[in-house]
Amino acid sequence: MNGGLLLDMDGVIYRGSELIDGAACFVRSLIDHDVPFRFLTNNSQRTRRDVATKLRRLGLPVEDHHIYTCSMATARFLSRQTPGGTAYVIGEGGLMTALHHNGFAIVDKDPDYVVVGEGRTLSFEQIETALRMIIAGARLVATNLDPNCPTDKGMRPGCGATVAMLETAAGVKAFSVGKPSPWMLSDACRDLGLPPERVVMVGDTMTTDILGAVQLGLRSVLVLTGCTRTEDLVQFAYKPDLIVDSIGHLEFESVAALWGKGMRISPEPETLEAA
């Protein structure tokens, strides 16, 4: 097989606690054909093992190595910038585990970085502490800039909302590693062992999944089971290479065609033409 896939999860593979029709069959087909793939998530709370366990309980035959999180991307980025560095963390176990795994120490005084992820136990005391550290010279890094997160009970403020508070108070801009950052997608391609031109991104959100793919030069597939509707596409100056109703309508041959050399996209993104 000459290519691989990066797959968003919420809105592509499942909604809430239910698999989207055809998702299990598609994933099994990837495994049967020995296609390398990674599930990408901008949720920094869980470790890759936690995420893999959730997917297995939903009926998907995946392993831990199939998961790539924004926590992993953030920790890898920081370890390359400052090997053996220190961080004050606003976030949960997935982020802290990734930082530890990449040689970082979690501290509550004089950190190299203030790193912000999702958290359900955020306190104003943490915000005050982080603000003082940033003013003193710590660099502000976000696992992602998503303003909100979907839950079973509805939306709650996301990492981006917390980061915006710190940015406003400190007068600085955070560096974000998660989607749509090309850094996260590029490192996920490295995790696959493939160059970006041999990887297809499948997502449901134009402003993260598809934008990140376009910025890095990946081929992209938009599914209409999540955040983006067909009528929304006129708002964007960029477009996916392929649009399908759901992951269950994504044919394996269509994905393979996107890996092929000498392909170009016609004015209608649903149609592939040979160059």
Active site residues: 8, 10
CB-based contacts of 62, cutoff 8 Å, min separation 6 = 27, 39, 52, 55, 56
Task: Calculate the CA 136 to chain-centre distance.
Answer: 30
Half-sphere exposure of 24 (CA within 13 A, CB side): 10
Q: How many other CB atoms sit within 10 Å of the CB of residue 23?
A: 25
Per the omega criterion (within 30 degrees of 0), is the bond before 267 cis? no
Tell which residue, 145, 212, 156, 264, has the closest CA to residue 7: 212
Q: How many other CB atoms sit within 10 Å of the CB of residue 65?
A: 11
d(CA 100, CA 78): 11
The token duo for 129 is 């502490």
Task: Calculate the CA 94 to chain-centre distance.
Answer: 14
Q: What is the DSSP string of 135-153?
A: HTTPEEEES---SEEEETT
> Looking at residue 200, what DSSP letter applies?
E
Strands 113-116 and 139-142: parallel
